[in-house]
Structure 1
Amino acid sequence: MLLFRLLFSPVKVVLLVARIMGYNRFVVFLLGVGVGLLVAPTTGAEMRARLRAQIEARMDGSSEPLAPADLVAPGASG
């Protein structure tokens, strides 16, 4: 029953993690996540397209890195 309550109570899980990590480290971690989300250079779709292009280029045997213009997702403005 305790495990059920712990797993399905997000507030208790967050407080437990904060207690285990230490509150100061947990706050710094949350601030880092927040800043990372705010200043992310690309959207998820653009990043997936870039990664897919890099993986395909390496699988084709190209050892040279792709130029930044080649890494832009089709239809992406930038």
Structure 2
Amino acid sequence: MDEMSHHNAALVQQTNAAIEQTEAQAVELDQIVDVFRVDRETQRSIVKPERGARTLQLNLRGERLPTPGNAALARD
């Protein structure tokens, strides 16, 4: 049991280190892409996917999803 606890603690430390590294990379990426600016007219013309990548793929092919959203989730 003690060995398992040490193993789990090591996994938590590795996960925390990976999170910190990912956050640092995200900040660096934000700084890199911050130099790009898009004017308002271009922003209006950008097509935003309605429900993610799959919907965008189907829309580009002229198809539609069979249901409007995730049928597994009940509406509130």
Instruction: Provide TM-score, normalisation by structure 1.
Output: 0.30
Instruction: Provide TM-score, normalisation by structure 2.
Output: 0.31
* RCO comparison, higher one (Cα < 8 Å, 6+): 1
Q: Which has the higher helix share?
A: 1
